[in-house]
Structure 1
Amino acid sequence: MTKSDGKPSFACYHTHMEEAVGSWQQEGRISLWRYRKAPKMYHGWHFTADQEGCASLIELFGILSSATSPTHRTISLTGPQEVEADRIFGNHDFRLDVPAKLRLANDLDESGSIGLAADAFVMPLRSEDITNFSDAVRDISVDHADFGVSFGSNDTIIKFWWWPKKR
């Protein structure tokens, strides 16, 4: 559908965005975890993804950032123990909190709260959060890691790590 000026109508754009979100397919492996009762340097949430996971997420962030209505996707997470991502600092005996899924959403009204809900880590992302998360994932994809980024109105810090070698 187009308007008389030749530009797509909002309804057409909205439908296109819904189709883009609906047709996006996760690829690769993505891990998110936190250490329980760990020393301060281990505090907070930790994130990594392999090359395919990074490319897939960057594509999803592009879709989320251009959507004009609330939208989300829930993605499956790979347990960090399976690929030894939780061993970035070396061997340890810490217990982990590992959500099964990550729910990424565009938080258009900036009222969402980031955190663990049932088996999913829920991340309603403001516009600048989507950009920052996308930039962080781009950094991981070229092996620039070991940094933290603050997200959301509650300043949730996520630490970004390179994907474990040979995994």
Structure 2
Amino acid sequence: MKSGLHWWKQKGVISLWRYAEFQKSYGGWHLSADDAGAHSLLQLLKELQSAPESHRTVAITPPSKQLIKVPNYQQGRAVWMAPEKLQVQVSSAPDTWEFPDDLDPARLTFGTSYLPELTRALEGIPHGEGDFSIGSKRRDKSRLWFWWWLDAA
């Protein structure tokens, strides 16, 4: 019998980006999602938690001009880059946090000690919560910022 991870399918829109300049203020990765995307990522975390060291790849939609205005970094004019895919993996080592600056795919590997924070952050997106980051406190490790969703409609 196959695990729920095998049957997980992405729903909704998920945007991930990082800024190419002035990394001191908003360094790391930035994530937002529509309601369906946030719920889909929450389901993925649940499935990955029961299958450590497995991974799934998520399709990324570049952030819209409207979404880039949410952090309002450099008045929304800062140069940014977005991958086409994000590979997500739960490590069996609880304190792991790895999110290098690589593109295509971007790769996030985290331990179970980060699951409560990730879960709360993703649950907050549909409720308009954001403007905070999580991840390792070490300077050489990229953090993950969360932002509320603004549709470009």
Instruction: State the TM-score, normalized to the length of structure 1.
Output: 0.77
Higher relative contact order (CA 8 A, sep 6+): 2
In the alignment, the residues of structure 1 paired with residue 102 and residue 53 of structure 2 have an alpha-carbon distance, to the nearest angstrom, of: 19
SS of equivalent residue, structure 2 residue 98: coil
Stretches of structure 2 lacking an aligned partner (at least 5 in a row): none
SS of equivalent residue, structure 2 residue 41: helix
In the alignment, the residues of structure 2 paired with residue 38 and residue 99 of structure 1 have an alpha-carbon distance, to the nearest angstrom, of: 19
- Partner residue of 2:81 out of 92, 97, 104: 97
Identity %: 27
Deviation at 1:22, TM superposition (A): 1.4
TM-superposition CA deviations, 1:47-92 (whole Å, max 9, x none): 111100011111111111122x421100000101x36311211743
Identify if the C-alpha distance between structure 1 residues 86 and 165 changes in structure 2 by more than 3 Å, giving closer, same or farther: same
In the alignment, the residues of structure 2 paired with residue 16 and residue 152 of structure 1 have an alpha-carbon distance, to the nearest angstrom, of: 37
> What is the RMSD computed on CA atoms of the aligned residues?
2.4
Structure 2 counterpart of 1:51: 35
Deviation at 1:93, TM superposition (A): 2.8
What stretches of structure 1 move > 4 A for 4+ residues in a row?
Answer: 151-155
**1:162 aligned partner, one-letter code:** W
Identify if the C-alpha distance between structure 1 residues 101 and 22 changes in structure 2 by more than 3 Å, giving closer, same or farther: same
Stretches of structure 1 lacking an aligned partner (at least 5 in a row): 1-14
- What number of residue pairs does the alignment pair up? 149
Q: Which has the larger radius of gyration?
A: 1
In the alignment, the residues of structure 2 paired with residue 58 and residue 112 of structure 1 have an alpha-carbon distance, to the nearest angstrom, of: 18
Matches within 5 A, 1:53-68: 53-67=37-51
